[in-house]
Structure 1
């Protein structure tokens, strides 16, 4: 089966603020074998992630009969506090293997997208409840739920995860609202004389979105996009 493996990469995300020496080992029936080492600060050139070529390691595993004895270990020789994790271990920062079974040009996404769509991958892009969500008969300023499906807009061919997200938008009038205090009352009073001062229902709080995408060369990248989701609407 190893002949079908074109390439394999181990991806992990350092969370230490210092420049630490990270060493990568292979564990199998033959014991522990050193693969390579990286300094944690090199990740700033690749969206925070470090990728290691483990093609030969994976091919050897598929060619053998070691079963569950196979593993890859990452150690930090220079970390002062051994109890504090030095790489991400949960959610969107969990280490993963990217295995290509064909050349990137002929199969740009490979089978890695199935990993992110499976239950084993839990993104931190959870759906939170807006502070002032619109109800069915809402007329005042509120957050209207709006879901964007990346497949429907033609972006699913390069965005691996998530498959979509709740972007939301603001709607409703600002007049007759007492929950925004004296500032809104002053604007409402001034708007009676100057139409340019009419308060507008606009986003008051936004949150970021983490996406994992694949470039034209078949490499994976993780990026945090700011101000992608409306969490609260206010009158300004």
Structure 2
């Protein structure tokens, strides 16, 4: 039996405390499988620790759910196909005759694109993510009864939940389905909303009256992470 060579498909960086889905772009092998079904040998997931690429570890050791894990957490693939009226799969697209395109646009045009993916969007700055917000109790005119702290970093969530929902968006399954429905028919439902997924508390020292001071912990005051809901 001849030895099969592994071909690189995609990679994603994550942390040990990350929760949620990890998204990989498998357009390349999927296109090949549709055109040549016999070439479908499956996908192999290789997990490495940063700066120790030569040492491979089992995905289960890092909490990555495999085929023996919970059913609702099994990996899945989302694919979009454009019906062209032909049986063959077009891998290359017609070249643009314009001379002012840069090299990046040239290279990207050689691959089939998802028609629902807007590559002109700046996902890094517009996608759902945590933003800085400092709340000053003096600005709220609460300084007369709050002794400490003078303020705190509350943070807030802002951004769009556009397709595809990346791993850092901490999207719920409902949000993923809602995004797909919105893509098919924007008039039916809106996009999912960017909202806090984790919150933490702060302690506040304040006057109850002229003679009594209370130290109390208030829950859900600080945004720790954001996600699409």
Return the structure number with greater strand share. Answer: 1
| TM-score relative to the length of structure 2 | 0.40
TM-score if structure 1 supplies the norm length? 0.39
Structure showing greater relative contact order (alpha-carbon pairs closer than 8 Å, 6 or more residues apart): 1
